[in-house]
Amino acid sequence: MPPTIDITSYKGNIINGEFVPTPETRHSIDPATAEPLYEVPVARREDLDSAVQHARAAFKSWSKTPFSERSSLMLAYADALEANRAEIEKLQTMEQGKPLGLAHVEVDMTLRWLRTFATMEVKDEVIEDTDEKTIYSTFPPMGVCGAIVPWNWPILLGLGKVGPALMTGNTVIMKPSPYTPYCDLKLGELAMSIFPPGVVQVLSGNDDLGPWMTSHPGIDMISFTGSIATGKKVAKSCADTLKRYVLELGGNDAAIVCDDVDIAKCLPKIAITTFMNSGQICMLCKRIYVHEKIYDQFRDALVEFTKNNIKTGGGFEEGVTVGPIQNKMQFSLVKDMYEEIQKQGWKTALEGQVRSTSKGYFVEPAIIDNPPEDSRIVVEEPFGPIVPLLKWSADDEVIDRANALETGLGTSVWSGDLQRAERMGRQISAGSVWINSHFDVAPNVPFGGHKESGIGMEWGIEGFKHYTNTRSLWVWKKVFE
C-alpha cells in the first residue's frame, strides 16, 4: 500500500527518516486570500548539522546501492506521489496560488520526470581500449547534495533535483522556499517511507537556512534554482569550500514572430506561455518581437485572445489562467511595474490592472505596445502577467535585440520557413531555443541558461553528470605478464 499524507499536519522536518520538530514554527499564506496556512518547522543550525551528518552516513551505502535498486525505489516513489496527487495538487494551489489545472500539469510532469530519471544511468565511458590498457571515464557521486528550490514551481523543481541526485548515488537535503514549504515537506514525508533513512531529507526554515547550506563544509554540491541576484550569492558562498554548484537562474526570454506565420495557429501557444502561472516562470515569453508587417494584426489578435481566454482569479475557480501573484514581495514588484505604465507613458494594447478590492494578490494581464527597447519592461524580468510587444524589420536586427541582455535562458522563433527559423535560432545565445514552440522541457533533455541565466545544466545525462565527479580510470593489463 502506498503511504498516504495529511496535508493539514506538519510534524517536523524530515531528518534521517523521522519527523524532527523545531522549537519555533512559522507559516506561509494562501496568496488568493492572504489567510495563514499551517505551521511548519523552522530549522536551526543544529538541525542542518544533524541532517548533514545523517546524509553523510547514508551516502556510504546509498552510493554502493546498485542502479537497478535505486531505480525501483524511484519508481515506487513516483507511485507514492501519484497515489497522493489529488491532495498534493490541492496543497500546491493553496500555497503557490497556481490554478488547480496547472498544479495537475506540474504533478504530471514530475511523474514523467521521476519515471524517466529511473531509466537514466550515467555509464562509464571507454576512452581508449587496446591490448595494453583500457582508459575509462567513470562518474562517482559527489556525496551530499543540497537542493535549493524557488517558490514558483516547487514540486517539479524540487524533485527535478532530488531525482538526478539520487539516481547518480548521492544523498540529498532539499530546502523549499519559505514562501512554499508545504508540498516539499509532504514530498519528503512520502520519500521517508520509500528510501533508506538519511537518503532524502527536507528542511524548512527561514532566510538563513540557504546561506547555512551553501557554506556548510559537509555539503559537497548545491543545485540552486532562483533569482540571478541570489545565484551570485550562492556562487560566492560555495567558493569558500570549493563546493560544486549548478545555478538555474532568471530569464527574459524573447519570442521572435516572423512575418510568414499563421497568426491564428501560433497565437494561443504564445499567449499561454506568456501568462501561465501569472508570468511567474523563468522561461515564459517575456519580450515578444513581432515583424512590422504583421505587428498590428498580431497585437490586436493577442489582445482579443487574452481578453477572451486568459481569466484572472483564485486557483480553485473554473477556467482561470492567471492566479494570484505568489507573495507580497513579488506583488509589490509587479505593482511597481504596472505603475511604470503611467509614469513612463507606455502605450498599452491591453491595460491590465492590479485588483485593489481583493485580499489576495491579483493582477490582470497587461500588454505594452512597442515600448522603447531600453525600458524596464523590456530589460527586466517582470515575473508577472505583463509583456511588451516590440516591432522589428530585419532578421539580423531582431537576433541582436534578442541577444542583447545579460540573460540567456530560452528564445523561440516562429516562422513558416523552417530553414530561416533554424538559421536564426542557431544564432541565439540561450540554453534552450524553440522553433515554432516555447517552454518545451523534458527529463532527458538538458535545461539551463547562458550568461547570467545560469551555470551548468539540469536534467538529461549532461545534467546528471553535474551530480558526479569525473574520475579517469587507467587499467594497465600487461604489467605483470
- In the complex, which residues of this chain contact ligand NAD (CB under 6 A)? 148-153, 157, 175, 177-178, 210-211, 214, 225-227, 230, 233-234, 248-251, 282, 381, 383, 409, 449, 454
Taking the least distance from each CB to ligand NAD, the nearer of 383 and 467 is 383
427: Cβ contacts below 8 Å, ≥ 6 apart: 399, 403
CA distance 50 to 60: 16
Taking the least distance from each CB to ligand NAD, the nearer of 3 and 211 is 211
C-alpha cell at 86: 489529488
To the nearest whole angstrom, how small is the minimum distance from the Cβ of residue 347 to ligand NAD?
A: 27
Q: Are the beta carbons of 124 and 136 closer than 8 angstroms?
A: yes
Q: How far are the Cα atoms of 60, 216, 338 from residue 369, in angstroms, in the given order? A: 58, 48, 14
Count of beta carbons in the 10 Å neighbourhood of residue 469:
14
How remote is the C-alpha of 335 from its chain's centroid? 23
Taking the least distance from each CB to ligand NAD, the nearer of 226 and 313 is 226
To the nearest whole angstrom, how small is the minimum distance from the Cβ of residue 304 to ligand NAD?
A: 29
> Annotated catalytic, 87?
no
- Of the candidates 248, 340, 364, 458, the residue annotated as catalytic is 248
To the nearest whole angstrom, how small is the minimum distance from the Cβ of residue 409 to ligand NAD?
A: 6
To the nearest whole angstrom, how small is the minimum distance from the Cβ of residue 231 to ligand NAD?
A: 7
Residue 128 β-bridge partners: 135
Taking the least distance from each CB to ligand NAD, the nearer of 128 and 208 is 208
Taking the least distance from each CB to ligand NAD, the nearer of 384 and 449 is 449
Strand ranges across the sheet with 133-138: 125-129, 133-138, 471-476
To the nearest whole angstrom, how small is the minimum distance from the Cβ of residue 2 to ligand NAD?
A: 28
Count of beta carbons in the 10 Å neighbourhood of residue 443:
24
Helices 85-96 and 100-117, interaxial angle, to 10°?
Answer: 120
Which residue, judged by CB position, is nearest to ligand NAD in the bound state? 210
Taking the least distance from each CB to ligand NAD, the nearer of 105 and 294 is 105
To the nearest whole angstrom, how small is the minimum distance from the Cβ of residue 210 to ligand NAD?
A: 2
Count of beta carbons in the 10 Å neighbourhood of residue 24:
12
Q: Is 185 helix (H, G, I), strand (E, B) or coil?
A: helix
Count of beta carbons in the 10 Å neighbourhood of residue 454:
26
C-alpha cell at 371: 515600448
Count of beta carbons in the 10 Å neighbourhood of residue 397:
11
Residue 39 β-bridge partners: 27
| Active-site residue list | 248
